[in-house]
Structure 1
Amino acid sequence: MKTIKPLLGIALAGMGLAFGPKADQPLKDAFKKDFYVGAALSYRQISGQDARATALIKQQFNTISPENLLKWEAVHPQPDKYNFKPADDYVAFGQQNQMFVVGHTLMWHQQTPKWVFEDADGKPASREVLLKRLEDHINAVVGRYKGKIGGWDVVNEAIDDQQGNLRKTKWLEILGEDFAAKAFEYAHKADPKAELYYNDYSLYRPEKREGVIKLVKSLQAKGIKVAAIGMQGHYGLTVPTIAQVEASIVAFAKLGVHVNFTELDIDVLPNPSRRQGADIAETFGADAKYNVYTTGLPDSVQQKLTRRYADLFALFHKHRDVIDRITLWGVTDADSWLNDWPIKGRTSYPLLFGRDYQPKPAFRAVVQAAK
């Protein structure tokens, strides 16, 4: 084992990645006694089309999530058609590299084809028809990767942003309030050993936190095990506060569940939305005042980003007894969805590795947080 890191360093140096036997400790090693550290991947990265990113992923991470490959519209676009090739490759990549593989996501109100909710005449499907479609989909997808995918985001973003009530979606409208319970039941039946999660954004907000607590308690009352709550960490430089994030970690732990930070990134750009979240339906037109660092990140902002990541990972390390996984939503700044949300074409800097595939100052601050 002692020869692996030098050889890896030589290989990566040949690809222009400045890591070697004396360089920074990889994230997965820095936190190996605490929790998994991972990234959300695109097909370009797992297929080798972006070889530098692929090398970086193998070196730094021990868990992976699919950014889009396992969402319903991608894997099951038509009633009688499944598109498993990209997902198969994703799972194989994780297995080949001894990573904890995550499935994302089985039930969501976005990126689900219209046909799922409609009958042959384009009218709303009945509860019975929609339940059958949901069960068939989960059986096919979870069943295919039984024993290979270690945990699933079963239900995604089912709580509304304002009051903490169940979000008004087609799932709720047609199935009623047991929609989440049904999804968890089907997933557990398809792979009894897989961890099952509830995943959502802005869970530092008290109203939304209480809504998730109520939902999880209702599932637990039915005998359904929720292994962890996924807190999407789509944060800004100052919002939420560390205390707000910590309050939710503590509150969720009291339910007897663990916590994952599933979609971590820090938006350093001005945001036209008053929300701090990830509602992909909320978009805005191009405006230069929201794209202010097109030629590079000023040192003063780089320092704020570094401090922000250091503070967050210090918090994660403090609560490592209940935190199982930290997943960054992307590998390098170039991959981030924040380049196109909530405004297309922005130059964003939300991750630990820059567009040059090199570690940013924030990376080193995160590694230090482990110590």
Structure 2
Amino acid sequence: MKLRRWVATAAVAVATVATLNSLPASAGHPYDPTDQSLRNLGLRHNLYVGTAVDMDALADPDDPQYRQIVGDEFSTVTAENVMKWESLEPTRGTYNWGPADELVSFARQHGQRVRGHVLVWHNQLPGWLTSGVADGSISNDELRDLLHKHITDVVRHFRGKIWQWDVVNEAVSDPWDNPPTLHYKGFWAEHLGSGYIADAFRWARAADPQALLFYNDYNIEAFGSGDPANDKTRFVYDMAKDLRSRGVPIDGVGSQGHLGTQYGNYDTLQVAAALKKFTSLGLATAFTEVDVRSQMTDGVQAGESAEINPRLQASAANFSILLQACLSERHCLSFTVWGFTDKHSWVPGTFDNPPEGLATIYDENYQPKRAYNVMRADLIYAGPPYVLPRVAQRPHR
């Protein structure tokens, strides 16, 4: 769907005061007060601002603007799909490293760090694996060995090139699932039990002692009831606490940050409180897949400003809430949007009843939305005493 070009660049005054020039920047990438990109403004706080990357779009010679923005605006990149198991090993025993290696090479050329996504997930698995388990030709014992081999092969291949790995992704159910009591869900829990989570972190650490190892999930931006039976954030917190108590080398928890303007969502203080709770365990945090989708009503699709403007404002507010919370917590190392342009967003293809979209910080014509400039303003005007430089995380052994 192509919308009318109704998004104009928001007018945000960005006068940078002299005191900002002396604030820390990441080693090798000094802060440049004349550069108002997200990546450069994040350097004031040693915060890496990133995006998920669609490799087909990155390689498209007819769409050079996509490639330019990825390189100019962001200091860390995540493979949207090409590091998932079905992409890396579509045929058993034969790896296709090409597209993922291309992203790593692009990041190196542009002075960016790479988040590896994802080692263990119940979705986007290769057909040979799932069909083999279904027909009994792959036993549970062999499945565990295959998982061990996959993690080892992938992490060793990228050893020294990945800053953060999403080791285990979305292992916990939601309160609206059946049964409603929160539990470990999906393909891996069904066949290997919950012990695969600790195994995955140990195998990843053995393959790369230096990468930061994250658990990644959605709907964990803030605490709810506090009851682990129905509060997913509390369930994940208790899981992470248990893993740390048993010496499992988990370094961080990633909160995906997939939000929608039709929901109540959270305020900055609620989100900051959740981040601080996780960091009290000795863990780093990150926002790993941020987008804010809206329902595409008839009025939105017709270009009616009365329908569009409230959604743009609500979207910008939600991006800002998550970014402000991340800035407030020194162990929040990175803030990644899940694609930066509506032209290549996953949302319309996934949420279609009712249709949803408008989820990113640029429109389909690569024009920045209000959300983009609100994020820039947050990065510009944040500072001591409430926003301090990031605390580097050392990998747990």
TM-score range, shorter chain: 0.7 to 0.9
Structure-1 residue corresponding to 2:54:
42
The one-letter amino acid of 1:77's match is P
Moved more, 189-198 or 344-353: 344-353
Structure-2 residue corresponding to 1:186:
203
Contact 1:73 1:111 in 2 (8 A): yes
Question: Which residue, out of 101, 105, 130, partners 2:114?
Answer: 101
Structure-2 residue corresponding to 1:111:
124
Contact 2:52 2:339 in 1 (8 A): yes
Question: Which residue, out of 69, 73, 92, partners 2:86?
Answer: 73
Kindly tell me: are residues 120 and 199 of structure 1, through their superposed partners in 2, closer, same or farther at Cα, counting changes over 3 Å? closer
Structure-1 residue corresponding to 2:22:
none
Q: Shift in Å at residue 36 of structure 1?
A: 0.4
Q: Shift in Å at residue 138 of structure 1?
A: 1.3
Q: Distance in 2 between matches of 1:88 and 1:219?
A: 31
Structure 2 counterpart SS, 1:293: helix
Instruction: Answer 1 or 2: higher relative contact order, Cα 8 Å, separation at least 6.
Output: 2
Question: Which residue, out of 224, 227, 240, partners 1:216?
Answer: 240
Q: Shift in Å at residue 122 of structure 1?
A: 1.4
Contact 2:133 2:139 in 1 (8 A): no
Q: Cα deviation per residue 1:308-334 (whole Å; 9 max; x = unaligned)?
A: 333332232222x12100000002111
Q: Cα deviation per residue 1:133-154 (whole Å; 9 max; x = unaligned)?
A: 0111112211111101121100
Pairing 1:1-371 to 2, within 5 Å after superposition: 25-34=36-45, 35-49=47-61, 50-117=63-130, 119=132, 122-123=135-136, 125-162=138-175, 165-203=182-220, 204=222, 206=224, 207-237=231-261, 238-242=263-267, 243-269=269-295, 289=297, 292-296=299-303, 298-319=308-329, 321-343=330-352, 346=355, 348-370=357-379, 371=381
Contact 1:103 1:152 in 2 (8 A): yes
Structure 2 counterpart SS, 1:64: strand
Structure 1: gaps spanning 5 or more residues: 1-20, 271-288
Contact 2:52 2:78 in 1 (8 A): yes
Q: Distance in 1 between matches of 2:199 and 2:355?
A: 39
Q: Distance in 2 between matches of 1:260 and 1:294?
A: 34
Q: Distance in 1 between matches of 2:354 and 2:111?
A: 35
Q: Cα deviation per residue 1:193-230 (whole Å; 9 max; x = unaligned)?
A: 11100000001353111211122123213312221101
Kindly tell me: are residues 314 and 169 of structure 1, through their superposed partners in 2, closer, same or farther at Cα, counting changes over 3 Å? closer
The one-letter amino acid of 1:355's match is E
Contact 1:333 1:348 in 2 (8 A): yes
Moved more, 108-117 or 33-42: 108-117
Q: Cα deviation per residue 1:271-324 (whole Å; 9 max; x = unaligned)?
A: xxxxxxxxxxxxxxxxxx5x65224462333233333333332232222x1210
Kindly tell me: are residues 180 and 124 of structure 1, through their superposed partners in 2, closer, same or farther at Cα, counting changes over 3 Å? farther
Q: Shift in Å at residue 344 of structure 1?
A: 7.6
Q: Shift in Å at residue 180 of structure 1?
A: 0.5
The one-letter amino acid of 1:221's match is S
Contact 2:77 2:112 in 1 (8 A): yes
The one-letter amino acid of 1:336's match is S
Structure-1 residue corresponding to 2:9:
none
Q: Distance in 1 between matches of 2:82 and 2:137?
A: 27
Kindly tell me: are residues 121 and 28 of structure 1, through their superposed partners in 2, closer, same or farther at Cα, counting changes over 3 Å? closer
Moved more, 116-125 or 72-81: 116-125
Q: Cα deviation per residue 1:102-143 (whole Å; 9 max; x = unaligned)?
A: 110010111112432564881273332112101111122111
Contact 1:91 1:148 in 2 (8 A): yes
Q: Distance in 1 between matches of 2:376 and 2:134?
A: 56
Kindly tell me: are residues 183 and 311 of structure 1, through their superposed partners in 2, closer, same or farther at Cα, counting changes over 3 Å? closer
Q: Distance in 1 between matches of 2:44 and 2:111?
A: 16
Kindly tell me: are residues 268 and 121 of structure 1, through their superposed partners in 2, closer, same or farther at Cα, counting changes over 3 Å? closer
Q: Shift in Å at residue 349 of structure 1?
A: 1.2
Q: Distance in 2 between matches of 1:226 and 1:329?
A: 23
Moved more, 157-166 or 59-68: 157-166
Moved more, 139-148 or 167-176: 167-176
Moved more, 354-363 or 178-187: 354-363
Contact 2:257 2:322 in 1 (8 A): no
Kindly tell me: are residues 176 and 112 of structure 1, through their superposed partners in 2, closer, same or farther at Cα, counting changes over 3 Å? same
Q: Distance in 1 between matches of 2:345 and 2:134?
A: 39
Contact 1:164 1:208 in 2 (8 A): no
Q: Distance in 1 between matches of 2:201 and 2:137?
A: 23
Kindly tell me: are residues 213 and 305 of structure 1, through their superposed partners in 2, closer, same or farther at Cα, counting changes over 3 Å? closer
TM-score by length of 1: 0.82
Q: Cα deviation per residue 1:161-193 (whole Å; 9 max; x = unaligned)?
A: 115733332211221221101111111111111
